[in-house]
Amino acid sequence: MSSLMLQENTSIIEDIKWSNKENDILASCGSDGAVRIWDCRCNARKCVAHVLASDSSVGVISWSQNRPLILSGSDLGEIKIWDLRVLGLDCPSSAFFNYHQKEITSIEWHPSESTIFAASSDDNQITLWDLSAEECDDSDEQAGVLPPQLMFIHMGQKEIKEIHWHRQYPGLIGSVDIDGYNLFKASNV
């Protein structure tokens, strides 16, 4: 077995994920707030694209199953979506959600619904999001108003560490917290 050393990361790496479509492509994120895309076929061993995703640590990422998108979750509770077709250092995120009040602990795209993802946070909530929900034209971010893309909130667990969609049962999510695990299915997924 041979090893491959990827350069350019001077910070702590928080998460890495292999691409769902390209065997030699992976993404990483870390304490410097960056999301980096790596092509293991490149001899230079440097990232091929990166973006500053947050002013704080980015701890979790997830590749979309069907579209060229990556989700990132930060220690500030920010969830951002990045379009790989235009990813660059100064590119804005395709979408930005700032609902959670604490660190995003896990994030994952739905395995078959390309507009749906789930996120867990240290605020003891798991949220399900649907990007196909349109924002109202007159919607100014008002205090106490939930974003239209937020379709479900699961509460009652403490210190949630991981969430994963079940691959065979559509809409079923497993989560791990300090007390064990939980399985639930939102009726609208």
- Could you tell me the CATH number of the domain that includes residue 152? 2.130.10.10
Residue by residue, DSSP assigns 126-176 as EEEEETTSPPPTT----TTPPPTTEEEEEE--SS--EEEE-SSSTTEEEEE
Does the residue 3 lie in any domain? Answer: no
Model pLDDT, residue 45? 72
Model pLDDT, residue 176? 96
Does the residue 7 lie in any domain? Answer: no
Does the residue 118 lie in any domain? Answer: yes
Does the residue 37 lie in any domain? Answer: yes
Does the residue 127 lie in any domain? Answer: yes
Model pLDDT, residue 9? 62
**Per-block mean pLDDT, blocks of 10 residues, the chain (189 long):** 62 92 93 93 82 95 94 98 86 93 97 95 97 64 78 94 94 95 87
Model pLDDT, residue 64? 95
User: Which residues lie below 8 Å from residue 86, measured CB to CB, with a gap of 6+?
Assistant: none
Model pLDDT, residue 44? 67
User: Are 5 and 45 in contact, with CB atoms under 8 Å apart?
Assistant: yes
Q: How many residues does the chain have?
A: 189
Model pLDDT, residue 138? 44
Does the residue 84 lie in any domain? Answer: yes
User: Which residues lie below 8 Å from residue 94, measured CB to CB, with a gap of 6+?
Assistant: 69, 81, 82, 83
Give the residue from 117, 182, 129 showing the smallest Cα distance to 156: 182
Does the residue 159 lie in any domain? Answer: yes
The total of structural domains in the chain comes to 1
Model pLDDT, residue 133? 86
Model pLDDT, residue 171? 92
Model pLDDT, residue 61? 98
Give me the domain span that covers residue 140. 13-185
Model pLDDT, residue 6? 63
pTM (2 decimals)?
0.88
Structural tokens at position 39: 């092509």
